[in-house]
Amino acid sequence: MSKHDLPKTAERSPLSRRALIGGGAAALGASLALPACAPQPARWDHETDILAVGSGAAGLSAAIFAKGKGQRAMVVEKMPIIGGTTAKSGGGHWIPNNFVLRELGVDDRREDCLQFMARAAWPDHYSATAPGLGIPASALALLEAFYDNGWRAVDRLLELKAYRAGLWFLSTAVPQLGPNQVPDSLARVVPDYFDHAIENKVPRGRTLMCQDDQGRLVPGSGMIAMFEAWLTAQQVPMVVDHRVRHLTTDGSGHVTGVIAEHEGREVRIRATRGVIFGTGGYAHNPEIINRFQRNRIFGSCAAPGATGDIIAIAGEANAMLGNMTSVWGASVILEDSLDGKPLATTVMGTAGDSMILVNRDGARAVDELRTYNSRTRVHGDYDSFNELYPNKFLFMIFDERTRTVYGGNYPIPGVQDNPPWLMQAATLEELTRTLSARLDALAPQVGEVKLREDFTARLKQTIERFNGFARRGVDEDFGRGNAGCDRASFSISSRPRPDVPHEPNPSPNPTMYPIAGKGPYYAIILARGALDTNGGPVINGNGQICNQQGEPIAGLYGAGNCIASPTREAYFGGGGTIGPALAFAHAAVEHACNTT
């Protein structure tokens, strides 16, 4: 019997990172050529009702929803293991009106949440008094679909017992700024990333996390393990090392299945109700990045299979593309990302209270505690007079106190560690010379960046101004620490070492402490990185991929990072990617299974 006669269930064999990357190496050169869809083959190797392409949150949940409706389901994954980028994530789901909020009596009203999402996702269009909130009608429809399907998706997964032990809020010890707008039971819950927006009526409680049998919160790998176990128990086929190459269509253009490649052989899979893509973005495809990204991405922590295959595949069906210049941002340590590492370690939170981020002008450029996606976007700010990007690199400057007290909180290394990307100097003048020499040495790899001639003087002025803010507890330039999400970020990313005595921060704002007047001083170069990209085929509220005329392509659906993000560039809170992935996987299955 051929191995294609019966799909094999994915096996979790131990793989090194090098082996894992090697498994997807062929995908790194994915072509953007757009051939026509393949005609229906005379013979199919497999047949199912719903075919999920990709095995992250979108793909696995789509298979669960389909099986839960009594449909046949199948998952194909091009990499050698199940999980995609979801397995590398924190695993949170940002879900408005979720069941825990409802049980607590918190009314996360649809109209209020839509207003908040429109404000965050479309700040250049948004108007509270305009019809449709000022944003395109198709965009509002996607936000409505997200709200409507998100909580239903989670409810359905709970009903089907796909979560082994349920869900709970992502919580931490979050210093309060004033009276809560939600019940006291949410006082320790991590807030939304734009909790301070006037439109955000429920700033805490929308991020859910999976729990294990002991009630502990588990990351994305735990979530994937739960979904995989459920599908295995339901005998849903999940095959790995199967890379989808082409769509198949009937004479009317209806997508009927796919042609995948496995060990050099074509595998033809029929999907009677729909093909749902959840294959990730294109963060690991340099060709597509160079074509669409205005600013260079120096590293990504996305799974190596994130090479944008859907762009060419859906292009066979004349799919419309959208949001192609956007990413889910997260800074990376520049030199660490250049060290031959295919997968970067992202700087999700900056550590330390006596720490600032400055640009080539020696000036602060951002609230250092803004969340990763928002903070990373400032790397693309443009200086129209000098015709350059002054924030292309941001320099994380900190003193001995932060190194000692917060060492070990990435990216600040432990006090016994001295990685080559950590620069140390006795004075700010010496630190400037060290930084300048390092930038010159890196220029052939990363492009030319020069510090201003008066960088040291301006850096001293910046530090003096910051120290005044720290003593008063108010950051007059960027509002550091004013928002609940700032306090939460600091609480998570800046945990003092328990074995190091230190003077408590007397400031009314615990996120700022005056930078020392004498060295040693330290610097780390941060560059623009990505969790993944979030552009691709455009979908409608049913999760259907649309053609160039804006009409849905029958039988073809998408969810997750592989599509044009329904939330645009906005990352509403923890789980801002997984929440929409679940919602639109649910929408797609509902539509596919209810369409004759």
Identify the CA nearest to 391 among candidates 293, 257, 465, 295. Answer: 295
What sign does the CA torsion over 76, 80, 83, 86 have? negative
Q: How far is CA 482 from the centre of its chain?
A: 24
Q: What is the pLDDT of residue 572?
A: 97
Fold held by 331-528: Flavocytochrome C3; Chain A, domain 1 (3.90.700)
End-to-end CA distance of the chain: 34
What's the predicted TM-score (pTM) here?
Answer: 0.92
Where along the chain do the CATH 3.50.50.60 domains lie?
A: 17-90+221-328+533-593
Q: Which CATH architecture has domain 17-90+221-328+533-593?
A: 3-Layer(bba) Sandwich (3.50)
Torsion angle, CA of 153/154/157/163, rounded to 10 degrees?
A: 150
Residue 448 CB neighbour total at 10 angstroms: 11
Q: What pLDDT, in 10s, does the model give residues 96-134?
A: 999 999 999 999 999 999 999 999 999 999 999 999 999
Q: What pLDDT, in 10s, does the model give residues 222-239?
A: 999 999 999 999 999 999
Tell me the H-state helices in 316-369: 334-337
DSSP state of 539: B
Q: What is the pLDDT of residue 290?
A: 94
Q: What is the pLDDT of residue 28?
A: 39
pLDDT, averaged per 10 consecutive residues of the chain (596 residues), comes to: 38 39 41 64 94 98 98 98 96 96 95 98 97 98 98 97 87 42 61 95 94 87 97 98 96 95 97 97 96 94 96 96 97 90 88 97 97 96 95 98 95 92 98 98 96 98 98 97 92 90 87 96 97 98 97 98 97 97 98 88
Distances (CA, A) of 80 to 187, 229, 260, 307, 417: 42, 17, 14, 15, 34
DSSP string covering 203-268: -BS-EEEEE-TTS-EE-HHHHHHHHHHHHHHTT--EE-S-EEEEEEE-TTS-EEEEEEEETTEEEE
d(CA 267, CA 169): 42
Q: What is the pLDDT of residue 194?
A: 95
Q: Collapse the DSSP code of 465 into the 3-class scheme (helix H, G, I; strand E, B; otherwise coil) and give the result.
A: helix
Q: Collapse the DSSP code of 388 into the 3-class scheme (helix H, G, I; strand E, B; otherwise coil) and give the result.
A: strand
Non-local (6+) Cβ contacts of 565 within 8 A are 323, 326, 534, 535, 580
Where along the chain do the CATH 3.90.700.10 domains lie?
A: 331-528
Half-sphere exposure of 418 (CA within 13 A, CB side): 5
Residue position matching structure tokens 């996120």: 511
Q: What is the pLDDT of residue 439?
A: 98
Give the per-residue SS3 of 105-169. CCCCCHHHHHHHHHHHHCCCCCCCCCHHHHCCHHHHHHHHHHHHHHHHHHHHHHHCCCCCCCEEE
- Tokens encoding 497: 């070492």
Q: What pLDDT, in 10s, does the model give residues 250-262?
A: 989 999 999 999 9
